[in-house]
């Protein structure tokens, strides 16, 4: 593995990239090599939650399923936060049961996510994907044991350079999510911001991959 794409919705099947492809229970694609599976807060449907969780539990037992998610909380959508929290908690229980890391979608709900981690005594790694906030939020997440993944906003928002530089090397991942740019392009920007060679960055992320995914 030269490159690890922590979170993507596009399976490109490149030989030098390990892609953690986001999958939804209702739209599962068995041809994808490595994936996460979860109920995204945007797509919660009360009448299918139990069926979705059942599919998730089945897939979690596969070696190709590396993580749960993306799942989490989003205060900028119409789905009631109470329902989102209920569905998120059920997925965190599965993550603990099957010892899988969690890919987290979090919009304007960092305090709630942190509180749930503490309340439920979650021991598996929790990774905030698509981080775009300031150093204060990043620092609080790191203090509470979260990992942070960077992608689109690292390319789009120059102000994030300062935040990214402050992230300890053993606590971050890189991703493409839904953008058209390649993971190699994200690595290029990240290496430039950290002022290190690509090879060093690859080694850092490979070590983080082993630490989080136990592979």
**Please, are residues 79 and 39 in contact by the beta-carbon 8 Å criterion?**
no
40 is in an annotated binding site: no
70 is in an annotated binding site: yes
177 is in an annotated binding site: yes
- Cα separation, 141 vs 148, whole angstroms: 8
Write the burial class of residue 128 (CB in 10 Å: 0-12 exposed, 13-18 middle, 19+ buried): buried
Of 109, 50, 48, 122, nearest in space to 80 by CA: 109
7 is in an annotated binding site: no
* Cβ contacts of 106 within 8 Å, gap of 6 or more: 72, 73, 74, 113, 128
| CB-CB neighbours of 27 under 10 Å | 7
- Cα separation, 118 vs 130, whole angstroms: 22
**Binding site members for a divalent metal cation:** 70, 105, 129, 177
**Binding site members:** 70, 105, 129, 177
């Amino acid at each position: 593995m030269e490159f690890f794409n922590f979170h993507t919705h596009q399976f490109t099947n490149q030989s030098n990239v390990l892609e953690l492809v986001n999958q939804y229970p209702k739209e599962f694609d068995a041809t994808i090599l490595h994936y996460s599976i979860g109920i995204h807060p945007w797509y919660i449907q009360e009448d299918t939650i139990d069926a979705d969780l059942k599919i998730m539990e089945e897939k979690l037992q596969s070696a190709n399923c590396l993580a749960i998610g993306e799942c989490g909380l989003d205060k900028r959508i119409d789905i009631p936060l109470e329902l989102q929290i209920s569905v998120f908690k059920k997925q965190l229980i599965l993550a603990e049961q099957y010892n899988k890391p969690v890919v987290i979608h979090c919009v304007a709900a960092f305090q709630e996510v942190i509180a749930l981690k503490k309340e439920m005594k979650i021991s598996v790694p929790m990774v905030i994907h698509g981080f775009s906030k300031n150093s204060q939020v990043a620092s609080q997440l790191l203090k509470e044991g979260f990992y942070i993944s960077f992608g689109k906003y690292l390319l789009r928002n120059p102000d994030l350079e300062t935040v990214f530089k402050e992230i300890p090397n053993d606590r971050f991942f890189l991703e493409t999510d839904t953008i058209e740019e390649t993971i190699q392009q994200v690595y290029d920007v990240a290496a430039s911001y950290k002022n290190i060679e690509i090879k060093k960055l690859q080694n850092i992320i490979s070590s983080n991959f082993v630490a989080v995914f136990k592979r």
